[in-house]
A and B are shown apart, each in its own frame.
Chain A
Amino acid sequence: MIGGDWWNEGQAVTGAVRLANGSRWDSAWIQLLEVYEYREVGVFYFAEEVHSLTFPSPWLKQCPTVYEVSRAKDRARVAESFESYEESFARELEHFHDCVVNGTECRTPPEQARLDMDVLTRMFLKAGSGR
């Protein structure tokens, strides 16, 4: 864990992790209740490619999740975009239902949840609690 912070009475948080391979992972969550806007984006930056995954607001119907890959080709930027209308939030609930009803192995088992909690707690502790 190399960084963490929170501000605005806890309505905004951030954290940074150094991965074993030397790359850096930055996360931020910011809530602005007066703004009617929702953005959730994950981006992976590699030397030759950039991959991004953009989720729509879970309250909107028929909005696609967009996966985009861009790379250089013939001295130009080439980008491919994939749109899926299989709502990720609905699929999450369907998988949970499948786990409960049919005993399907959960993609996010308790061990994963424990690791998530550990990372998030370390982010908070890195920031300190004095605000």
Chain B
Amino acid sequence: MRTQVREAVGADSPAVITAFEGAFLGSLVHDVNLVHGLLERLGERCRPR
């Protein structure tokens, strides 16, 4: 997992792994997915720039 995190964001300290893998990808992902679903229902697509 450390290797995957380092490849994705260029760092792999314990805090980075907790923040990126745990908080962003493991927890906030549920709400990001929910918002994407609701935006799609509203006809608003999200494409990050």
Contacts and interface: CB of A to CB of B under 8 A. Distances in A.
Interface stretch (A71-79, A94-102, A120-128): A120-128
A23 B42 CA distance: 13
B23 to A, nearest CB: 4
A83 interface: no
A125 B11 CA distance: 10
B45 interface: yes
Majority-rule SS of B interface residues: helix
A118 B48 contact: yes
B39 A120 contact: no
Interface of A: 1, 6, 9-13, 15, 17, 19-21, 25, 27-29, 31, 40, 42, 44, 53, 107-108, 112-113, 115-125, 129, 131
21 contacts: A6-B19, A9-B15, A10-B17, A10-B23, A11-B18, A13-B23, A17-B46, A21-B44, A25-B35, A29-B28, A44-B38, A44-B42, A112-B33, A115-B46, A117-B29, A119-B32, A119-B36, A121-B9, A123-B28, A129-B13, A129-B16
Contacts of B27: 29, 31
Contacts of A27: 28, 31-32, 35
Contacts of A124: 9, 19-20, 24
Given A6-B19, A115-B36, 12 more contacts: A9-B18, A9-B19, A10-B18, A27-B28, A42-B35, A108-B37, A113-B33, A116-B32, A117-B25, A120-B24, A120-B28, A124-B24
